[in-house]
Chain A
Amino acid sequence: MIGNKNKFVSREIEEDLRNLERYIEELSVFLPLSVYTVNPSNIIVDTNKAAIDLTGYDEDFIIGKEIVLLFKDKEKTEECINQVLEKDLIKNQEMVLITYDKKEIPVNVSVSVRKDGKNNVIGYFWAMSDISESKKFQESLEKEVEERTADLEKAKVALINMLEDSQESKEKVEEEKNKTRAALTSITDSLIVFDKDKRITLINPDAEKRLKIKEENVLGKKIEEILNSPNVKKLYEALDKKIEWTGQKYELILEEPLKRFFDVFVTPISSGKNVIGMIIIMHDITRDKEISRMKTEFVSIAAHQLRTPLSAIKWSLNMVLEGDVGRISPEQIELLRKTYQSNERMIFLINDLLNVSRIEEGRFVYSQDSHSIEEIIKETMEVSRGLSNEKKIKIIFEKPKEELPKIKVDKEKIGIVVQNLIDNGIRFNKVGGMVTISVKYDKLYVYVTIKDTGVGIPDLEQERIFTKFFRANNVVKLDVEGSGLGLFICKNIVEAHGGKIWFESEKNKGTTFTFTLPIEK
């Protein structure tokens, strides 16, 4: 009975067991985890649906194959096999699965030991889950992190660069500042630099010396606050008590210990369109003045000294020529006449030089009286007659029909102007040419026009013809003797009378000079 009973029981258990197995099997179909069951020799004995779906190896193919076959890294597989023997369970080993289609899929592998009731190892479960998605996610995450890191790295580098740049530009600014300061302090002009609020930011050593102030005592102050220093006060007064850019040149005289003359300029410091400060520049012109004075004085003295021997020559020749000291041959007369003319020319040049030095000394004083311009022109024409005959140039005076108003002039000086213009007209004319003088007037001025048919003034040189010692190129070739002072003197004389002088010229056609003189009121 018992045997039967046992038989019965075992059959029942067998039945239960089978049911359980089927249950597990059926359950395992729904299990999302891919599982391979292997025997102790690592031969696959079972698989499930998830595993077939994942790997593509069907049951018929895979059962009986070694588990190693599934994985790319054989060594790692062996390692897992060895480890699981010791630990019973290894979890989440990242491995690469090779599918039936030879695709490689990253998987997470866990291995656990199968034991029977007597704790004997009867095999292993290999469970795998596809981590390609999460791997991708992770990779993208990693990539993103990497990218972010790279960005950050870049940003960091950029930041460092920026810091370095700003350090560099700071150094540059510092360097520029030092350079500027060095330049400003070593400059021989006196400089005072103000910020936009007109507070002093720099005074160079020359200014310290001239103004008798110390930079450290005045920095940050306005000029109005330091007027107790006498020289600063003088400067302030010279600038009409303001520090403004007017484009004007101011004059300053300081008297300690010797009299010194300065040209003073006020210049804005701009940054873009903004004025960020002002500079007062004091340029010492004492030496220039002295040199100029000495030069003028030298010319004056030299010219004066030259006049005495020139007079002696003139007088001697004159007496010899007039037969005062006995008869001379026609040949001798001819030679002496030429000598006399050369001497006259020399006297003329010396007179020019003297006139210029007087103009520059401000001593070209005029004794102005009422005169008729017509008379002055007629008298001057007489003086120029010799030259015009010699050069075969006709001088024509187109006399005005009506009577001209009187003008208040220095007769001798206006005579110089007319003579210079007529002589130029003759000298730089062509053979058979003409010099025409005409006069007209309006309410304010008398206009004297002297027109020639000569070589004209080259375009490029027209600007300079009233400058001292200037002689146009074409003129130098025609006449080597001119002083280049005539027109300079003319301009000064005319302007000193309150008139103007100008010209129109066409090359090889001729030049027309016109000057005006105010009508006596």
Chain B
Amino acid sequence: MKNMKKILIIEDEEILLDLIQRRLLQEGYQVIVAKDGEEGLRKLKEEKPDLILLDIIMPKMGGFEVMEEMNKDKDLKKIPIIIISNSGQPVELSRAKELGIKDWLIKTDFSPSDVVEKVKKQLN
């Protein structure tokens, strides 16, 4: 395969998770999924993905907490993160920027293809 980069999607909404997963698989990425922050944190430690697509509001552990945990580990800290969120409020954005995110996508404003584009941009 030309593209075996590993992407972790952490998203609690099953249908969205499914749609992005399909789209990324089509593009030839290796995809791992997690349905909440806790599961996501565990999997990213195990799998060491090349990029994370991260939702903010999730059960058990939210996106910000996941990022905070990652920032404590110098290796995990390096993994690029693209936020996929429902909202995009300035307060949230600035907090996320401080935590070192690469991009922020508002779900209603983008399509899965846009997500793929952003992913490609980050990984190239």
Contact residues of B: prevailing secondary structure: helix
Q: Does B93 contact A (CB under 8 A)?
A: yes
Rounded to whole angstroms, the CA-CA distance of A315 and B20 in the bound complex is: 9
Is there an interface contact between A354 and B87, defined as CB atoms closer than 8 Å? yes
Q: Does B80 contact A (CB under 8 A)?
A: no
Is there an interface contact between A308 and B90, defined as CB atoms closer than 8 Å? no
Report chain B residues within 8 Å CB of A307. Answer: 86-87, 107-108
B12 to chain A minimum Cβ distance, whole angstroms, is 9
Q: Does B1 contact A (CB under 8 A)?
A: no
B68 to chain A minimum Cβ distance, whole angstroms, is 22
Contacts known (A319-B22, A324-B26); A367 close to B90, Cβ less than 8 A: yes
Is there an interface contact between B13 and A308, defined as CB atoms closer than 8 Å? yes
Interface residues on A, range: 20 to 34
Give per-residue flags for B84-108: 1 if the beta carbon is below 8 A from chain A beta carbons, else 0.
0011011101100000000000011
- Which residue of B19, B89, B91, B93 contacts A315 across the interface (Cβ within 8 Å)? B19
Report chain B residues within 8 Å CB of A324. Answer: 22-23, 26, 112
Contacts known (A308-B13, A311-B16, A315-B16); A367 close to B108, Cβ less than 8 A: no
**Shortest Cβ distance from A307 into B: residue:** B86
In the complex, the number of residue pairs spanning A and B with C-beta atoms less than 8 Å apart equals 60
Contacts known (A311-B107, A324-B26, A347-B108); A363 close to B89, Cβ less than 8 A: yes
**Shortest Cβ distance from B94 into A: residue:** A367
**Shortest Cβ distance from A365 into B: residue:** B90
Q: Does A304 contact B (CB under 8 A)?
A: yes
Rounded to whole angstroms, the CA-CA distance of A311 and B89 in the bound complex is: 17
Q: Does B113 contact A (CB under 8 A)?
A: yes
Is there an interface contact between A351 and B90, defined as CB atoms closer than 8 Å? no
Give per-residue flags for A302-318: 1 if the beta carbon is below 8 A from chain B beta carbons, else 0.
00100110111011101
Is there an interface contact between A316 and B19, defined as CB atoms closer than 8 Å? yes
Report chain A residues within 8 Å CB of B113. Answer: 318, 322
Is there an interface contact between B19 and A319, defined as CB atoms closer than 8 Å? yes
Is there an interface contact between A365 and B108, defined as CB atoms closer than 8 Å? no
Report chain A residues within 8 Å CB of B20. Answer: 315
Q: Does B15 contact A (CB under 8 A)?
A: yes
Is there an interface contact between B86 and A312, defined as CB atoms closer than 8 Å? no
A309-367 residues at the B interface, CB under 8 angstroms: 310-312, 314-316, 318-319, 322, 324-325, 347, 350-351, 354, 358, 363, 365-367
Report chain A residues within 8 Å CB of B90. Answer: 365-367
Is there an interface contact between A314 and B89, defined as CB atoms closer than 8 Å? no
Is there an interface contact between A316 and B15, defined as CB atoms closer than 8 Å? yes
Rounded to whole angstroms, the CA-CA distance of A325 and B94 in the bound complex is: 37
B45 to chain A minimum Cβ distance, whole angstroms, is 27
Rounded to whole angstroms, the CA-CA distance of A312 and B93 in the bound complex is: 22
Q: Does B122 contact A (CB under 8 A)?
A: no
Is there an interface contact between A304 and B87, defined as CB atoms closer than 8 Å? yes
B69-93 residues at the A interface, CB under 8 angstroms: 86-87, 89-91, 93
Rounded to whole angstroms, the CA-CA distance of A354 and B13 in the bound complex is: 21
Report chain B residues within 8 Å CB of A304. Answer: 86-87
Is there an interface contact between B16 and A308, defined as CB atoms closer than 8 Å? yes
Give per-residue flags for A9-46: 1 if the beta carbon is below 8 A from chain B beta carbons, else 0.
00000000000000000000000000000000000000
Rounded to whole angstroms, the CA-CA distance of A366 and B93 in the bound complex is: 12
**Shortest Cβ distance from A344 into B: residue:** B108
Report chain B residues within 8 Å CB of A363. Answer: 89, 91
Rounded to whole angstroms, the CA-CA distance of A156 and B21 in the bound complex is: 107
Among A315, A324, A358, find the residue whose CB has the most chain B CB atoms closer than 10 A: A315
Report chain A residues within 8 Å CB of B107. Answer: 307-308, 311, 314-315
Rounded to whole angstroms, the CA-CA distance of A325 and B93 in the bound complex is: 33
**Shortest Cβ distance from B17 into A: residue:** A312
- Which residue of B13, B15, B23, B93 contacts A367 across the interface (Cβ within 8 Å)? B93
- Which residue of B22, B91, B108 contacts A310 across the interface (Cβ within 8 Å)? B108
Give per-residue flags for A448-492: 1 if the beta carbon is below 8 A from chain B beta carbons, else 0.
000000000000000000000000000000000000000000000
B9-42 residues at the A interface, CB under 8 angstroms: 13, 15-16, 19-20, 22-23, 26
Report chain A residues within 8 Å CB of B13. Answer: 308, 311-312
Rounded to whole angstroms, the CA-CA distance of A367 and B112 in the bound complex is: 27
Report chain B residues within 8 Å CB of A351. Answer: 108
Report chain A residues within 8 Å CB of B23. Answer: 319, 324
Is there an interface contact between A312 and B15, defined as CB atoms closer than 8 Å? yes
Report chain B residues within 8 Å CB of A367. Answer: 90, 93-94
Rounded to whole angstroms, the CA-CA distance of A365 and B93 in the bound complex is: 11
A310 to chain B minimum Cβ distance, whole angstroms, is 6
Shortest 8 CB-CB contacts between residues of A and residues of B: A311-B107, A318-B111, A312-B15, A365-B90, A347-B108, A315-B19, A307-B86, A367-B90
Known: A315-B19, A315-B107, A367-B94. 20 other contacts (CB 8 A): A304-B86, A304-B87, A307-B87, A308-B13, A308-B107, A311-B86, A311-B107, A312-B13, A315-B15, A316-B15, A316-B19, A318-B113, A319-B22, A319-B112, A322-B113, A325-B22, A347-B108, A354-B87, A365-B91, A367-B93
Complex A-B: 11 CB contacts under 8 Å: A308-B16, A311-B13, A311-B86, A314-B111, A318-B113, A319-B23, A319-B112, A354-B87, A363-B91, A365-B90, A366-B90
